[in-house]
Amino acid sequence: MGQTLRLMFSGILIGVLLMVCLIQVWPRDVFIEQQPQPESRESDSFVRCSAEERANYLEELCGEPDYPDEVTLPPTNHFYADEKHRIMICALPKTGCTSWKSFLMKLATGLDEDLGPSHIEENLIKHGITTVKRGIFPDKYRSYYKFIEVRHPFTRLISAYKDKVVDTTNCQGPVDGVFPTWVQFAEYVANGNSSCVNRHWMPYNELCPICKMKFDAVTKLETISTDVDQFLRRHNFTNKYQFGQKNVQPGVPGKTNEDYINELPEKVFSKLRKLMHTDMKLFGYDIDDERRMSCGYGKKGCC
């Protein structure tokens, strides 16, 4: 009986060892495919294309710009140029442009340190950044590497509310001295309330001549880390420069962007979606009837 038990134990041990060996040598990707796979998440789809590829899709959607003799910049426009490296950004508010301007100052000076506020023109000029405002777009900048930073229009609107409306006078609606709730603010914007017209949440295509000139890159706040890495490699910068995200608003603890969107009455949501339709189409964003945000340039399969 003892010998029989020893043989059985030995057989079980050999079987276990063989199984372990099989797992070790079996192709890992085949083994993983047999396991339950997690559902794809929105964040997974944000890294499928480069900033330059997005610019190519933007050009396809706009139609190739013929660069007329003069491009007139809107009053709300601000272009910023690193003259040393011939790099220019069309700064769209509430997309991360404050961080980009600070970063461009670092690149222009070669100093990876805090160089002061990027919203003060004198400080920008001091650190090698030229401000190009309203009027005729200067010819010399046509050959510069031009890019824009965007984010999903709905999350941008939420950020604008938290940063530029709560406890401010930027949008008070019909009652002076009382700042609106999120739903009231969204309704004012959707209905075009005159007291709530502000560049921090105006449509992108009203702030920058997006389809009148060629852009070389479109970066996104959702993929900022990857986009900055690609940007540094594209221009042969070392990775010593730290890109710090500034003016991040925490909002109400425990309240997500989805919570804000789900609070909107159907009529207000529909109006906002229509208002933001062009921006979402140009930059590969969407939001469906169920209020699920997504990205993708049509059939391109690229975000």
What integer is the mean pLDDT of 138-167? 92
3 state SS of 217 = strand
What integer is the mean pLDDT of 176-204? 87
160 Ramachandran zone, left/alpha/beta (phi>0; psi -120 to 50):
alpha
How far from each other are the two terminal CA atoms of the chain, in whole angstroms? 68
Helix residue ranges, H only, the chain: 2-25, 28-33, 51-62, 97-109, 121-126, 153-164, 182-190, 224-234, 257-262, 266-275, 277-282
Inter-residue contact 203 to 276 (CB < 8 Å): yes
- pLDDT in the model for residue 176: 60
Inter-residue contact 123 to 117 (CB < 8 Å): yes
- pLDDT in the model for residue 45: 44
Can you read off the two tokens belonging to residue 63? Answer: 């139609």
Side-by-side strand order, sheet with 217-220: 129-132, 79-82, 87-90, 145-150, 217-220
| Alpha-carbon span 10 to 89, nearest angstrom | 71
| Lowest mean pLDDT across 52-61, 78-87, 245-254, 277-286 | 245-254
Reported as a pLDDT band with limits 50, 70 and 90, residue 68 is low
What integer is the mean pLDDT of 106-134? 92
Burial (CB < 10 A; 0-12, 13-18, 19+), residue 65, is middle
b/e per residue 263-292 (b: at least 16 CB within 10 A): ebeeebbebbbebbebbbebbbbbbeeeee
- pLDDT in the model for residue 33: 27
Can you read off the two tokens belonging to residue 130? Answer: 């030229």
172 Ramachandran zone, left/alpha/beta (phi>0; psi -120 to 50):
alpha
3 state SS of 47 = helix
Inter-residue contact 104 to 88 (CB < 8 Å): no
- pLDDT in the model for residue 190: 94
Residue 144 has pLDDT above 60, yes or no: yes
Inter-residue contact 200 to 93 (CB < 8 Å): yes
- pLDDT in the model for residue 16: 43
pTM over 0.85: no
| Alpha-carbon span 124 to 115, nearest angstrom | 9
| Alpha-carbon span 264 to 137, nearest angstrom | 39
| Alpha-carbon span 142 to 212, nearest angstrom | 11
- pLDDT in the model for residue 49: 84
Inter-residue contact 294 to 46 (CB < 8 Å): no
